[in-house]
Amino acid sequence: METVLERTSKADQEIAKKSISKIRRINSLKTSITDTGFIQFTFQGSDEPLSIPKKAMALLNVILDNMAQGKSITLLPSDSEISTQEAADILNISRPYLVKLIEDGAIPFKKVGTHRRLNLNDVIEYDLRMKKIRDKKLEELAKLAQEMNLGY
């Protein structure tokens, strides 16, 4: 199931701007989060509380932040199949470079007719692996710079 919110209207953008600080405040309140990791809301006129997982509240925070900026939002299940262009956009690389990566075996793919399709989970896993490698290399560079008294 893919959910795309079309361009955010000015009215929705204003509502999102007003709501985002409230959501952030709720997310930061330790007392409203139960030991099981969810937040309970009660609404006037209803005796039954609404329980929302803390992770969903974090997602709501991201959605409202993007809406407040007037951006469109797309939600995809993590097991979705995506095109090479969509994967390249997620990884912030060119499509030809992505094609090289998948042909070199760095990211699994399958062919559907003449088109290559990638599993979103595989793309996310590749991105996380690359971020870990970058972080490790940056730590090594910082350590070398400190050993050489370069002022970092």
For each of the domains in the chain, give its residue range(s) and CATH number, in order of start.
3-75 (no CATH), 81-147 (1.10.1660)
By CB neighbour count within 10 A (0-12 exposed, 13-18 middle, 19+ buried), where does 32 fall? middle
- The answer to whether residues 27 and 58 touch, using CB atoms and an 8 Å cutoff, is yes
pLDDT higher for 96 or 40?
96
Averaged pLDDT, 52-75: 87
Give me 145's structure tokens.
Answer: 């710079």
Report the pLDDT value the prediction gives residue 36, as an integer from 0 to 100: 66
Band (pLDDT 50/70/90 cuts) for residue 31 is: very low
Report the pLDDT value the prediction gives residue 30, as an integer from 0 to 100: 53
Helix, strand or coil, per DSSP, at residue 98: helix
pLDDT higher for 37 or 138?
138
Strand-pairing partners, residue 5, are 73
Question: Which pLDDT tens digit goes with each residue over 99-126?
Answer: 999 999 999 999 999 999 999 999 999 9
User: How many C-beta atoms lie closer than 10 Å to residue 71's C-beta?
Assistant: 13
Q: What percent of the chain has pLDDT over 90?
A: 46
Band (pLDDT 50/70/90 cuts) for residue 1 is: low
d(CA 26, CA 49): 15
With 80 as the cut, is the pLDDT of residue 47 above it?
yes
Report the pLDDT value the prediction gives residue 32, as an integer from 0 to 100: 47
With 70 as the cut, is the pLDDT of residue 88 above it?
yes
Report the pLDDT value the prediction gives residue 4, as an integer from 0 to 100: 55
Give me 115's structure tokens.
Answer: 């088109």
